Amino acid sequence: MPGYHGKILIADLSKKVTRSIPVESQNTTRFLGGSGYASNLIYELLDPMTDPLGPDNMLLFMTGPLTGTLAPCTGRHVVCGKSPITGLWGESHSGGHFGAKIKSSGFDGIIVTGVSETPLILDVSDGIASLHSAEHLWGMTTEETQKALKSDQTGIQVACIGPAGENLVKYASIVNDERAAARCGLGAVMGSKKLKAITVSGSHSTPLASPDEFKELARSSSKILGEAMSMLRDQGTAMYLDIGMMFNDVPIKYFQEIEFDDADLINAKALGEILTGRSACHSCPIGCGRKVTIPEFDLENIAGPEYQTLAAFGTNLMISDLKKIALMNRLCNQYGMDTISCGSTIAFATYLCDIGKADYGLQWNDPDRVIELIHAIARRQEIGDVLAEGSLNVGKTFGAEDSVLHVKGLEIPNHDPRAFSGMTTVYTMASRGSTHLEGDMYSVDMGADVRELGITSGDRLENEGKGRIAARAQDFRAFCDSVIMCHFAIVPPKTIIELLNLAIGTSYQMEDILRIGARAVTMKRLFNLRCGLNIQDERLPKPLLIPHAEGVTDDFVPDVNLQLKDYYEYRDWDRATGIPRDGALRELGIDFN
């Protein structure tokens, strides 16, 4: 089966046994791989009523048909399961080299089920899997864990949890090198199973239908992409801080304000002053990762903060000390925590103190206290035990649920729907709760559209038609997450289809892109409905429906109802129940009979 090894590993931690199941060609045709294939597996295999932190939940580490090849930006992998922070579909992507190494181990994915009484390591090497004790690793940071495992075995890649995952912090992440599958708290699921780490190695190359032609196209498209994305390569994602400030798209003081006079102290130029190198994922011609050195904290060549982290711990908390923000990022990576949810939860707690609803003694622009809180959250000590449950739980604790910036329990990432209205549909309708990764409407309306797929840019402060465009963007990103290809790879859809066809021997056309993506989106929707999704939760938090004062957005607020009406009509979903109609399912070839 070109593009696949044809098998997925299953590790049952309760029984301490491993086996494999075949990759079904019918499902690769319909879902390709990645989160699309995972959506079908989870719908079929996972009881939707299971406790996310119970033994019956499962974790899927999935690759795509292009993973491990020379196609540009195809080193990512995805982790899927039921999220402990939302109780719904959980999905988190990570870059680096772990995904490519899964593929070279001889498997297309790994499914973890059950729970162990003692800490374990799952080792996967050249088609053989085994379980080993991890008691000597329990309590270690992610870096300590990876160093210990790599010192014992060469040529491996490691995905592991840190103390936050062990302590079931609801937004714990799974870390490989200093990349992280961060959102949705899947690190806590891994911790609940007592699985400290997965190691992967091997020498299996990805089989290709037309290897010579594929290699030629992969190399030429990588060269073009590298030249086109030179700014991202030179500045990293921190470049967006200055851009976002111009559009009022950067969160300031828990999304309350639009001015932050010290933004130039934490932007890409400032980051360049502590920059000591760059990093790139497998087969990536861009290399947007930053390496920084901070002698004051005895930190050398560590991962530098990305835009989302600069916003979460910088502007949103009114902090302009870049070196301490880099330290916060480092601590989250070491403990294994999502910087978006962690920073947002601390910002919300600070906001509650600011308005007199909480008495934690928190204040804006207090980096040392934030650093203390990161330690406390990961260890679940004192106030950290409350914050470890996420901002919605904090809001419920203090009777301030309506002030929490979340959708379905997942904290809002650092883009403002009052600046780019299409993010309203993305946040409210994303399968995993509010995420910017299921449809980047902020970049679409800045001109990074995909016109050949009907994803067209428009007035960023307009509601009309945004639901339909956002649905198409969501489908396109779901397709990319099934291939899997990084969202920063601005590769023409025609080229992606050509690469896919040369890799797996198919004859997909352009019109198949949105169809395959929509199929994955719909499967995740069906799973969420089975989990008890309340469509009344498809809404923006009230503070984001209050216009910014004196902003360049001219008092704009998004019209949620209008956008969702547009979205539902495009999808052919029932607006009253949220359920896809039979015609929509038939159109996508989804048949449960």
Enter the tokens of residue 447.
């001109």
547 residue type, one letter: P
CATH code: domain 230-404 is 1.10.569.10
Rounded Cα distance between 551 and 543, Å, is 16
The contacts of residue 83 (CB under 8 Å, 6+ apart) are: 52, 89, 90, 184, 185, 186, 409, 410, 432, 433
Mind listing the pLDDT tens digit for each residue in 155-176? 999 999 999 999 999 999 999 9
User: Is residue 116 classed as helix, strand or coil in its secondary structure?
Assistant: coil
pLDDT at 468: 98
105 residue type, one letter: S
Residue 152 class from Cβ within 10 Å (0-12 exposed, 13-18 middle, 19+ buried)? exposed
What SS3 string covers 164-232?
HHHCCCCCECEEECCEEECHHHHHHHHHHCCEEEEEEECCCCCCCCCHHHHHHHHHHHHHHHHHHCHHH
User: Is residue 6 classed as helix, strand or coil in its secondary structure?
Assistant: coil
Counting DSSP H helices and E strands in the chain, the numbers are 23, 17
Instruction: Summarize the confidence of residues 294-318 as an average pLDDT.
Output: 98
Common-topology check for domains 7-201 and 423-487+509-588? no
Smallest CA-to-CA distance from 273 within 303, 299, 293, 297 is with 293
Share of the chain above pLDDT 70, in %: 100
Strands 157-160 and 406-407: unpaired
Residue 81 bridge partners (DSSP): 90
Write down the domain spans for the chain.
7-201, 230-404, 423-487+509-588
335 pLDDT above the threshold of 80: yes
H or E stretch at 442: helix 441-444
Strands 89-94 and 120-125: unpaired
553 pLDDT above the threshold of 90: no
- 278 φ, ψ to 5°? -125, 160
Mind listing the pLDDT tens digit for each residue in 202-236? 999 999 999 999 999 999 999 999 999 999 999 99
pLDDT at 380: 98
Rounded Cα distance between 345 and 279, Å, is 29
Count Cα atoms within 13 angstroms, Cβ side, for 371.
14
Enter the tokens of residue 245.
């400030």
592 pLDDT above the threshold of 80: no
The contacts of residue 516 (CB under 8 Å, 6+ apart) are: 30, 31, 32, 36, 478, 479, 482, 508
Average pLDDT for the chain: 97
Mind listing the pLDDT tens digit for each residue in 50-105? 999 999 999 999 999 999 999 999 999 999 999 999 999 999 999 999 999 999 99
For 423-487+509-588, which CATH class? mainly alpha
Enter the tokens of residue 165.
């995952």
Alpha helices in 254-338 (DSSP H): 268-272, 307-313, 322-335
Instruction: Summarize the confidence of residues 514-529 as an average pLDDT.
Output: 98
Are the beta carbons of 436 and 426 closer than 8 angstroms?
yes
H or E stretch at 476: helix 466-483
Instruction: Summarize the confidence of residues 177-199 as an average pLDDT.
Output: 98
Rounded Cα distance between 431 and 183, Å, is 12
Helix 511-530 with 34-45: angle, nearest 10 deg: 30
Residue 24 class from Cβ within 10 Å (0-12 exposed, 13-18 middle, 19+ buried)? middle
What is the CATH T-level fold of the domain 7-201, as seen in this structure?
Aldehyde Ferredoxin Oxidoreductase;  A, domain 1 (3.60.9)
Residue 297 DSSP symbol: G
Enter the tokens of residue 306.
């990305």
593 pLDDT above the threshold of 60: no
Smallest CA-to-CA distance from 227 within 75, 443, 72 is with 72
Mind listing the pLDDT tens digit for each residue in 445-459? 999 999 999 999 999
Instruction: Summarize the confidence of residues 470-482 as an average pLDDT.
Output: 98
CA separation, residue 448 to residues 222, 363, 543 (Å)? 18, 38, 28
Enter the tokens of residue 370.
């934030």
∠ CA 112-513-483, nearest 5°, is: 35
551 pLDDT above the threshold of 80: no
**Cβ-based neighbour number of residue 378 at 10 Å:** 26
Instruction: Summarize the confidence of residues 402-426 as an average pLDDT.
Output: 98
123 pLDDT above the threshold of 80: yes
pLDDT at 293: 98
Mind listing the pLDDT tens digit for each residue in 371-392? 999 999 999 999 999 999 999 9
For every residue of 315-374, DSSP letters joined together read GGGT---HHHHHHHHHHHHHHTB-HHHHHHHHHHHHHHHHTTS--S---SS-HHHHHHHH
Residue 93 DSSP symbol: E
